[in-house]
Amino acid sequence: MLPSVLQPNATDHVPVLADEVRRLLDVHPGETVIDATFGAGGHAALLAPDLQGQGKYVAVDRDPSVRPYFESFRRGAGVQTRFLRGDFADVFERLADNGLRADAILFDLGVSSMQLDRPERGFSYASDAPLDMRMDPSADHSARDLVNEASERELTDIFRGYGEERYARQIAKAVVRRRKQQPFERTGELVETIKGAIPTPARFGDGHPARRVFQALRIAVNDELEALEHALPAALDTLHPGGRIAVISFHSLEDRIVKRFFQREARGCTCPPEFPVCVCGREPTLRVLTKKAIRPTAEEVAANPRAGSARLRAATKT
Ligand SMILES: C[S@@+](CC[C@H](N)C(=O)[O-])C[C@H]1O[C@@H](n2cnc3c(N)ncnc32)[C@H](O)[C@@H]1O
């Protein structure tokens, strides 16, 4: 068993690809910025000064524990600020309906260092804690529910699809066997079950043996891909013509959603390729600013290993 860690250990989040985000979002005085994933406000602290005291910074996060970070940001922001707690997919739909328009929108997806480093949130395989993983602690389903209730087939699909876990089937089988004796309550129990389900050599290469399963469960528990699919069109509706949108993703499935959305909106026409002429009449709504996803430099990854898998894409509304 892993040691039980009772004290939260808050570590501030280091903003990823910060200079590139700032350059692409190109914030000017008087504009409205929507930071869809406020976290510790690391990007906010870099973008808000570009408003030079005029404009509005709207912070969104589904995790209520970011509140103190927002309060501290608000005090020094020097511009109008607002915090909207909720899933960014819902928030953008509400904002679009209420007529609020933005000039710059940032999504910095995934979890923050504070979420990962607070053992009691249950995101980490590195310490024994309740198996939770909800970004929004009031959400209905936690990782505990998923691990104890999903079928073996569903668990296999989650581990394989979201975690690219090679031993997905074996791990799902071991999870179902273990929970028949006693339901899972803690991260440590899951780590032990994963270790026991994979061949001994696989326990030692390519990072921690539970890393991929934990990532997969986190994505499933928080419906992360679905939230992104819904949020992107709503965010585009919220953007003024000429407005910029930037998305940092940390998972190939997220990046694929962003890339396809940008391509679709930049193409406009949705007619089947075999049509000789366009009959849909749709015009492009985005111009892509990043031909290829921008990756962090080796220096950034050395200083902040969590930046390692980051990819940044940006576009401007036509
Ligand atoms: C990588 S962190 C952002 C860090 C931030 N850019 C900074 O520099 O401090 C991601 C944040 O987005 C939030 N988040 C993830 N998915 C979300 C969603 N669907 N709706 C709202 N917030 C979300 C998480 O709770 C987390 O605080």
Query: Measured between alpha carbons, how far apart are the two ends of the chain, in Å?
Result: 56
pLDDT score for 53: 97
Model confidence at 312, pLDDT cuts 50, 70, 90, reads very high
Measured between alpha carbons, how far is residue 288 from residues 21, 140, 246 in Å? Answer: 14, 37, 10
38 pLDDT tier (thresholds 50, 70, 90): very high
Q: How far is the CA of 37 from the centre of ligand 1 (A)?
A: 3
pLDDT single digits (tens) 110-156: 999 889 889 899 999 999 999 999 999 999 999 999 999 999 999 99
Residue 5, pLDDT above cutoff 80: no
Can you give the pLDDT at residue 7?
Answer: 31
Which residue, 109, 39, 37, 93, is CA-closest to 255?
A: 109
β 56-61/80-85 pair status: parallel
Q: How far apart are CA 242 and CA 127, in angstroms?
A: 46
Written as six digits, the tokens of 296 are 């962090």
DSSP 190-255: HHHHHHHHS-GGGGTSSS-TTHHHHHHHHHHHTTHHHHHHHHHHHHHHHEEEEEEEEEEESSHHHH
Kind plus residue range of the DSSP H or E element containing 60:
strand 56-61
* Whole-number pLDDT of residue 3: 36
Give me ligand 1 centre to Cα 30, in Å.
25
Ramachandran angles phi, psi of 309, nearest 5°: -100, 10
- Choice among 8-12, 19-23, 116-120, 211-215 with the minimum mean pLDDT: 8-12
Residue in the block written with tokens 């691990």: 147
Q: What residues form DSSP beta bridges with 153?
A: none
Mean pLDDT value across residues 163-173? 96
State both tokens at 253: 């499935």
| Ligand 1 close to Cβ of residue 134 (< 6 A) | no
Average confidence (pLDDT) over 53-63: 98
Quick check: 5 and 129 in contact, CB under 8 A? yes
Ligand 1 pocket, 254 CB below 6 A? no
Query: Could you tell me the pLDDT band of residue 307, with boundaries at 50, 70 and 90?
Result: very high
Please give the pLDDT value at position 10.
Answer: 40
CA of residue 88 relative to chain centroid, distance: 10
Residue nearest to atom 1 of ligand 1 (CA): 112
Asked if residue 13 has pLDDT above 90, the reply is no
Give the pLDDT mean for 52-71: 97
